[in-house]
Structure 1
Amino acid sequence: MTAADPRLTPATERVALDSLRGILKRPAYTPGRPMRLARPLADLCRAPQGGRDRQVNFGADLVVVEQRQGWAFVQAAADGYCGWVRAEDLATEMPPITHRVSAPATHIYAQPDMKTPELAQLSLGARLSVTAMQGQFARLAQGGWVPVQHVADQPDHDPATVAARFLGTPYLWGGNSRNGIDCSGLVQAALGACALPCPGDSDMQEAAFPPAEGAIRRNDLLFWPGHVALALDAERMIHATAFAMAVIVEPIDQAITRIEAAGQGPLRSRRRPWPGRQGAFP
């Protein structure tokens, strides 16, 4: 991808990050303002009040490029994806991140007691600032408590195992959470939980990883035009698909035949996210 890709270009028609000086002409430039998503989930929209391109989860670090009329144009620190979010969903307080949600979903409780009212629901991958542990609950810097069974301070080691936690999740175009997820969102969540940096869209993912040689292995990525799946083994794959409107496991041969018969193209490539490229965690 290049700076010309609007999904990865931290610039509006009026303002660009300082890093784009001499590359992209804009009336104004800014160093950007680091902020953090303070709500459980937010759409990254292609325009204020526009359609969703992707989503960001609780605790995501963002750089604000421009604010106008209650909206902020941001770039996500994790994958560089850009879009508009509601400015009221951002916080300037950025305490150290200590854990991530490791369960498919969890709740923030008002007190360290599962019988007290829940304040919000979080999805796998949400980044947490834990300040204390009390019994079976972790206290968050922003307030509220999360069950310790649902958080981790170390990465997972098998993306396919992580992806399986999303089985049955409804398909949602541009989705990145247990509430709804799409094919590239599932792959990004699975790799991210294992501290493997991963772009947001399937074409970016296909370009990011090297071709897989030999037989299909667990955790190979299978690419069709506009679609990606994760191999569970040489015969089965898991993917978020509009065919079932859910995350499902499907025989690879059957999926190849079905997708091509539907006119969506043949299997285009196979990629292998390699170990040794782990990023920061949590």
Structure 2
Amino acid sequence: MSGRAVIRPVVDLLRRPDGPRDRQVLLGERMEVLEVLDGWVRICADKDGYEGWVPAAALGEDTEPTHWVSAPSTHAYAQADLKSPDRMAISFGSRVAVRAVTGRFAETAHGHIPVQHLMSVGERMADLVAVAALFLGTPYLWGGDSRWGIDCSGLVQAALLACGIDCPGDSGPQSRAVGALLPAGTPPVRGDLLFWMGHVALVADAGRILHANGKDMAVAYEPLEQAIDRIAAQGEGPVTAHRRPAIPA
């Protein structure tokens, strides 16, 4: 095995075989195989260098993707017909290789996907908060990275990657690597990132944040000052970092 790609909609990336989930990888994501052991594969994900274990059966041949899913989620249908059986539900950020386009559907190895749910590889979105808002109501899931379950750092990573900004998978590295670190007391603006110990949120506007959080158990807006007070009252301390990502031109 050398380079491989995910062939299931969502796969848990585990700390060890049969161990706890650290993150997830999505359909079409590419990776380097580091080790193979009794039906398990230790991989390094291309998108962020995250390492972990996945079932060997979840991986297939590495195919150069041409498009990525830009809708919150979509379906791959058996034919280029919205009334045909759906073969697979696919999350935002997944990658596919389009073979041909028939009417309003793109043919892939997984089925026919509505073209309006896809963007070409290399195309970017331009508003971090608008991307994150696609996940509103998505259930909170520790280590989650998909429309069916996501956590705070997974939400931030999804938004930044969609806008062409490299981003680690966990909030700790994000707090040290993403964008410019701003001095304490800098007024937050839309698209800024606020970090607490073990948590990250996007600033939606001067008075609100957007985050995947355990209070709502979902992706939701929350008044900024309320969140600061609530998180401090929970014993998780104050804001530890304020960073401002820059959208590539």
Q: Shorter-chain TM-score category?
A: over 0.9
C-alpha distance after superposition, 1:128-166 (max 9, x if no partner) = 1111111111111x2411011111112101110000010
Task: State the alpha-carbon separation in 1 of the partners of residues 37 and 230 from structure 2.
Answer: 46
Identify which of 225, 246, 264 aligns with 2:218: 246
Following superposition, the deviation at residue 234 of structure 1 comes to 1.3
Structure 1 position 211 matched with structure 2 position 181: yes
Task: State the alpha-carbon separation in 2 of the partners of residues 245 and 143 from structure 1.
Answer: 31
Secondary structure at the residue paired with 1:74?
strand
Q: Identify the residue that residue 272 of structure 1 maps to in structure 2.
A: 244
Task: State the alpha-carbon separation in 1 of the partners of residues 54 and 14 from structure 2.
Answer: 7
Q: 1:97-246 maps to which residues of 2 (within 5 A)?
A: 97-140=65-108, 142-153=109-120, 154-209=123-178, 210-212=180-182, 214-246=186-218
Q: 1:8-19 maps to which residues of 2 (within 5 A)?
A: none
C-alpha distance after superposition, 1:90-146 (max 9, x if no partner) = 112x33211110011111111111111111111110011111111111111x24110
C-alpha distance after superposition, 1:182-239 (max 9, x if no partner) = 0000000011111111100000100102213532111100000000000011111100
Structure 1 position 50 matched with structure 2 position 22: no
Secondary structure at the residue paired with 1:121?
strand
Q: Identify the residue that residue 229 of structure 2 maps to in structure 1.
A: 257
Secondary structure at the residue paired with 2:181?
coil
Structure 1 position 82 matched with structure 2 position 54: no
Tell me if structure 2 keeps the 8 A contact 1:212–1:220.
Answer: no
What is the letter of the counterpart of residue 9 of structure 2? P
Q: 1:17-28 maps to which residues of 2 (within 5 A)?
A: none
Task: State the alpha-carbon separation in 1 of the partners of residues 101 and 63 from structure 2.
Answer: 16
Task: State the alpha-carbon separation in 1 of the partners of residues 153 and 209 from structure 2.
Answer: 14
Structure number having the greater strand percentage: 2
Secondary structure at the residue paired with 1:163?
helix
Task: State the alpha-carbon separation in 2 of the partners of residues 77 and 96 from structure 1.
Answer: 13
What is the letter of the counterpart of residue 73 of structure 2? A
TM-score (norm 2): 0.95
- Structure 1 gaps, min length 5: 1-31
Q: Which runs of 4+ in 1 moved over 6 A?
A: none
Secondary structure at the residue paired with 2:33?
strand
Tell me if structure 1 keeps the 8 A contact 2:126–2:247.
Answer: no
What is the letter of the counterpart of residue 149 of structure 2? G
Following superposition, the deviation at residue 33 of structure 1 comes to 1.3
Identify which of 4, 7, 10 aligns with 1:41: 10
Secondary structure at the residue paired with 2:101?
strand
Task: State the alpha-carbon separation in 2 of the partners of residues 43 and 195 from structure 1.
Answer: 24
Task: State the alpha-carbon separation in 2 of the partners of residues 127 and 155 from structure 1.
Answer: 14
TM-score (norm 1): 0.84
Task: State the alpha-carbon separation in 2 of the partners of residues 250 and 122 from structure 1.
Answer: 28
Q: Identify the residue that residue 20 of structure 1 maps to in structure 2.
A: none
- Structure 2 gaps, min length 5: none
